[in-house]
Amino acid sequence: MVRLLARLFIKDRKNTDDPAVRASYGILAGTLGIVLNVLLFAGKLFAGLISSSVSVVADAFNNLSDAGSSVISIVGCRIAASPADNEHPFGHGRAEYIAGLVVSCSIVFMAFEIGRESIAKLITPEEPTADLLTFVVLGASILVKLYIFAYNHGLSKLINSAPMKAVAVDSLSDCVSTLAAAASLTVFALFGLNIDGWVGLMITLIIARAGINAAKESLTMLLGSKPDDAYIEGIHETARGFGGILGIHDLYVHNYGVGMNVVSLHAEIPDTVSFVEAHEMADALEHELSEKFGAVVTVHMDPVGHCKTDIQ
């Protein structure tokens, strides 16, 4: 379905380096997530109230929070696609990381609320009732959540989106929590053992762990993570293969969002090269690195004597 919708509504859909295309994918995934999660919330809430199951009701409100997470993802993608301005000369790409962090925090908050309700059920237990409708709703929920995970996981890899990664992780944890809720009802139906509150606590831990892990990833990007080793090595190889460059050092890569890196480095050249030639070499190397690695590049030329033999 997502691929079909992408063909219909996303122009130039294969050009995922274009911020507008990336935003369109984010809006598409988020809109579909809102629709599916609201439907799941309504179905689970109805089933949970009928069965008096706190784990099913908790799972329902978890889906409602997922719909809110999809809204945040859409907003983040739209802001990230905004062009650079005077206040943000390198664009607004980090808005995606912020959106991913907000989604992660909402996941943790929902886990706290579910845990609070589960503890209340342990203090004052209420016997759940298992019926066919409840199991049908939970089974359908697992299938839908697996679908949401699949398309968010696929699109997050396609456009490298932090919010989509967080939503994908949350959807997978939702499948586990829904299975746990179904297991709780099954145990009660077969053995008359009410473990609803305990299962609710288990769901709390699953959801909280997913939220914390997703938050760590977004925070790492916001704080400035180490660039990918292959990216760094690629810059080294390109510079060393450039005519007249002996080596490079003091290489720095700053990330301002997906597809927006700022690279600076010192390139070593023979001290016999004239100032004009060095300037032309710097311009040419900057252009080649910018084209190859999609970055804003600044090259500082360092003249070295003929006795220098160590190339970095």
Domain residue limits, the chain: 2-223, 229-304
pLDDT tens for residues 218-231?
888 888 877 888 88
Residue 258 — φ and ψ, nearest 5°?
A: -60, 125
| Unique residue bearing structure tokens 């905004």 | 82
Q: At 165, is the secondary structure helix, strand, or coil?
A: helix
* CATH fit for domain 2-223, picks 2.40.50.140, 3.40.50.1000, 3.30.980.10, 1.20.1510.10: 1.20.1510.10
Fold of the domain spanning 229-304: Alpha-Beta Plaits (3.30.70)
The stretch 27-47 carries a mean pLDDT of: 88
Q: State both tokens at 40.
A: 């799941």
What pLDDT, on a 0 to 100 scale, did the predictor assign at position 222? 86
pLDDT tens column, 276-287: 999 999 999 999
**CA Rg, the chain, in Å?**
26
Is the pLDDT at 208 greater than 90, yes or no? no
**pLDDT for 161:** 80
| pTM of the model as a whole | 0.71
Q: Looking at residue 200, what is its pLDDT?
A: 78
With CA atoms as reference, report the closest residue to 268 among 241, 249, 289, 284: 249
